[in-house]
Structure formats: structure tokens, C-alpha cells
Amino acid sequence: MSGLLRDKVAFITGAGAGIGAAVAERFAAEGATLWLNDRDHETLATTIDHLRSASHGSGSEVSSLAGDASDSSFVDAWVTAGLETFDRVDVLYNNVGVSRPGLVGDLSDEDWHFQRRLTLDSVFFATRAVLAPMVDGGGGSIVSMASGAGIGGNYNLGGYAAAKAGVINLMETVATEHGRNGIRANAVAPGPTATPPLLAYLEQRPGGVDAHVADLNLARLTDPHEIAATVAWLASDQSSAISGTCVRANIRAASRRPPP
């Protein structure tokens, strides 16, 4: 690796598995000091053990605090603890998000609020908590995980799509409000990504992976490490003029079209 994030302190939510763990691994390889979060204590501990064993020579230091990123009180405490430990925050990567399939007319109140709380509220709470210390420190980079579902909507994923659209708009707004403070804010829409939960789900669907990827731009699933490379670039000074955008990766070309 090229040390893109050497001397930077990065806060990451949802770092225990999937894309979040891949981003933490890439950040560590690029020399960042990491302050991680996940609500699954065991998964987070496993990820940290892996990072510490793999980070020799990169200069990376890894610490964490497990808890619920959709709880504003916890998020404030997590950010405060990270600042007390490392004295600053240069990068925030928001990774938490969850979907519950269902047509809009069939979604319960609980389904709607659950998806909004985990997917959008978590991004808002962490972003709000780091803004003042980033301003005091002269700037920083905020990157949030969006989705192709948040760009034009997605059949049977109305609650999730609305929350992810909110993530994209929130990053655009933060970029507008705080660009003069040296803060950049961007989103990434990764498209369907080869994480264990998605692969397990597709194994049970008609046609499996092949049917699911047929109308993706690249006609394949995205690898988590591909997204991690994009996030690392957005977090680094190499993207110093990029703010207020959503990087579209391998999204579904026909996401607006309902199934036949």
C-alpha cells in the first residue's frame, strides 16, 4: 500500500464484518489509526485481532468501543472516547445500514422506523458528533455508505431506498455547509456486494447469483475490497477537491423496473 492515510485518525461504524471490516483493513494497510465500532462485540473483537496481526509495519493502531450506532447517546460517548484517546478525528466512515424487503403499502411502522434508524439516523448521529472536532482540527473527510437503491428507488425496498437517499442528501448538505471549514462529505453506492449475508440470501433465490447480477453494470457482484479502495481514496488527500458527490460503483442499471 502507498500510505494514503498515514498520520490520520479514522473513526468507523459497523466495522465488524462485510464492507465495514474491509474498509477497516484497507485503512489499516494505508497507515491510519483506527477507532472502530460495531454492536456485535464478538465480531468486532475478531476483526480487531485480524487487523492487529496484519498491521505490523503499517504504523496502524486499532482500538474500539462496541455499541449501537443508532443510539445517539452511545454515539456521542463513542466519539468522545475516541477523541480522548487520539485527540482528533480526520476521517469518519459511516457503514451501518439494514434493509427489510417489502412493498411500500405492506411495510409496518416498525419496519419503516427500524430501517430509518439503522440506516439514516446512525449516519446523522455520527456525522453530527464529529463536525465540531473536525472544524476545530482544520477539516476532515466524511464518507457514508449509500446504495443504488437510494438513486431512483428500488422495487420492494422502499424503506431502505428512502433511508439511503437520505444518506446521499445528508452528505451533500454537510458538504455545502462545511466545505469552508475544510470538511469534505461524500457517499458511495456500491451495488450488490459479495458479503456473506447477501451470498446466503442469493443461494435461496431462483437463479442464484447469476440471475441477480444479470442487469448490473458489470454483470457481477462487487467485492468488498473494491469498495474499500474507493472509500480509502475518498478519505485521503488524493481526493481533496471531491465533496458533495455519490460515487456510483456497480449499481443496478434497471433498478426502477419492477419484476415481470
**Overall number of domains in the chain:** 1
Q: Quick check: is 178 in a domain?
A: yes
Q: Quick check: is 257 in a domain?
A: no
* pLDDT of 259 strictly over 90: no
pLDDT tens column, 113-148: 999 999 999 999 999 999 999 999 999 999 999 998
Q: Quick check: is 260 in a domain?
A: no
Percent of the chain with pLDDT over 90: 75
What residues are annotated to the active site?
A: 160
Nearest to 117 by CA among 72, 170, 172: 72
Q: By three-state DSSP, how is residue 205 classified? A: coil
Q: How sure is the predictor about 203, in pLDDT bands with cuts at 50, 70 and 90? A: confident
114-128, 166-180, 185-199, 226-240: least confidently modelled range: 185-199
**169 vs 133, 150, 165, 234, 242, CA distance in Å?**
22, 10, 6, 17, 15
Q: Quick check: is 253 in a domain?
A: no
Q: Give exposure, 210-219, as e/b (b: 16+ Cβ within 10 Å).
A: eebbeebeee
Predicted pLDDT of residue 256: 44
Pick 166 or 256 by higher pLDDT: 166
Q: How far apart are CA 204 and CA 55, in angstroms?
A: 37
Residues in the chain: 260
Q: How far apart are CA 138 and CA 140, in angstroms?
A: 7
* pLDDT of 80 strictly over 80: yes
Mean pLDDT of 171-191: 96
Here the CATH number for the domain that contains residue 110 is 3.40.50.720
Predicted pLDDT of residue 260: 46
DSSP tally for the chain: helices H, then strands E: 9, 7
Average pLDDT over the chain, rounded to whole? 92
* pLDDT of 21 strictly over 90: yes
Q: Quick check: is 254 in a domain?
A: no
Percent of the chain with pLDDT over 70: 94
Q: Quick check: is 15 in a domain?
A: yes
Q: Quick check: is 130 in a domain?
A: yes
Provide the domain limits for residue 76.
9-248
* pLDDT of 195 strictly over 50: yes
Mean pLDDT of 13-35: 96
Q: How sure is the predictor about 55, in pLDDT bands with cuts at 50, 70 and 90? A: low
Q: Which amino acid is at 260?
A: P
Q: Quick check: is 66 in a domain?
A: yes
Predicted pLDDT of residue 253: 57
